[in-house]
Amino acid sequence: MSKEEPRRSGERQKGRFKGLTLTAFLIVLTLVAAACSDGTAEPASTPDAEKASDAGDTDTSSVRSQANGDGPESLALCFANSIDAVGRGSLDAGVAGFDECLAEDYVFEFQDFPGGPSTVCPGDGCPVQDFSSLGEMRAVFADGFFVNSGYIATQHQVLNVDVEQNGDQAEVVAYIQAQHFLPDNSVDIAWNDYSYTAVLEDDVWKMDTETIVGTAFLNFQGSVVGGGGDVAPLSSVGEVTMRNTLQDPGADEATFPSLFGQADDAYDEFASISADDVEFPTALSQDGTPAGDLNGLYSIDLAEGSIAFEVVADPDDPFWSGVFGLFPEGKVDRYYFTFDQPHGATDFTSDNPNLNVRIDSETELVVELMAGYDLQPGVNFTVELS
């Protein structure tokens, strides 16, 4: 559960917008939010030039940091800039930003939903206990959530900022609309009630307390940008690990290296998905095994929506020639593919009738070669994923 942008229990939904890119959708969503504000939304980055003209002594320069801000509302921009620096992977910039705008006695609270459980930092229940500054605590708290959720960028908007100032103290109430972007071209959007108190420290406004209360959370799945259709299986993955196992009739499944007394992961193979190159051109080749140096058995090529196998071992190969032949009942040769991102496959077809694809998880596929499969030099077949 999100602590940075808490979600209401039971409220998460998924919406699919065919042919509408996330960029276009978010532009529309932002315009709607602005239109619904009745003109009361006042972005913290825009100084009130009219008030400055009347007062004659108000700083009207563009608010890019709290040091150049002209009031407690500028802290909302400090929050947005700092947390989005963290969301882009710039933790140091986020720490520096938060350090600039937090008061000496700063405390923040995240509530999952109105009246629901909450987390208070600093404190015994805060997940960040080791920090050198309050800004570091705040940034590391956000970073932990973003990294664990797999977000590659964030965009926080603070809307309808309302300020009540009383001398050197102020209370600010607003809304947060936060977009969290994922590698599969989807976005998690959180809506939150946002409030903070501010105090003057050495004539500079600082955030003294901060409270975020979750009100809604949705995930929107976009189509491939420019494609207008669904994302093809394997199109979003970058790295893959392949492991082979063998199960003989009446025996337990065993990894290929364990047959030589090696650790199960000793012969794992790794590759980056490429549209131009074969990921595993000599799969199962190994040097220095107890049986000597082994040549590759298969060429395995992964592409958008497919996995292609071709037997590349020679007919007289000193090791594989003893393996060639028809698989009897109960024999299964398995190829485990583990991806760094969800593969997107839910079904398959193949021109090899003696093959099955097992979908173990959103990041793991298993190709099973079974009884009736005739392993011979030059044999090739393809798995089509959907």
Q: Residue 69: pLDDT band by 50, 70, 90 thresholds?
A: low
Of all helices (H) and strands (E), which one includes residue 82? helix 74-87
> Which has the higher per-residue pLDDT, 225 or 301?
301
Mean pLDDT for 321-338 is 96
Mean pLDDT for 64-92 is 83
Lowest mean pLDDT among 34-48, 119-133, 352-366: 34-48
Torsion angle defined by CA atoms of residues 126, 127, 133 and 134, in that order, rounded to the nearest 10 degrees: -40
Summarize the chain as % helix, strand, coil (round to 5): 20, 40, 40
Residue 295, pLDDT above cutoff 90: yes
Where in the chain are the domains?
13-221, 239-385
Tokens linked to 64: 């890019």
Residue-wise pLDDT for 141-171, tens only, equals 999 999 999 999 999 999 999 999 999 999 9
Question: What is the rounded CA–CA span in Å between residue 74 and residue 316?
Answer: 76
Amino acid at 97: G
Q: Which one, of 322, 325, 328, lies nearest residue 259 by Cα?
A: 322
DSSP secondary structure code for residue 276 in this structure: S
pLDDT for the residue 183: 85
pLDDT for the residue 11: 34
pLDDT for the residue 77: 95
Mean pLDDT for 229-244 is 85
Tokens linked to 85: 């620096």
pLDDT for the residue 26: 45
Residue 350, pLDDT above cutoff 90: yes
Question: How buried is 183 (Cβ within 10 angstroms: 0-12 exposed, 13-18 middle, 19+ buried)?
Answer: middle
Work out the angle at residue 357's Cα, subtended by the Cα atoms of residues 148 and 380, and round it to the nearest 5 degrees.
120
pLDDT for the residue 232: 85
pLDDT for the residue 237: 83
Mean pLDDT for 75-92 is 96
Residue 54, pLDDT above cutoff 80: no
Lowest mean pLDDT among 34-48, 269-283, 336-350: 34-48
pLDDT for the residue 185: 83
pLDDT for the residue 376: 97
Q: Which CATH class is domain 13-221?
A: alpha beta
pLDDT for the residue 236: 80
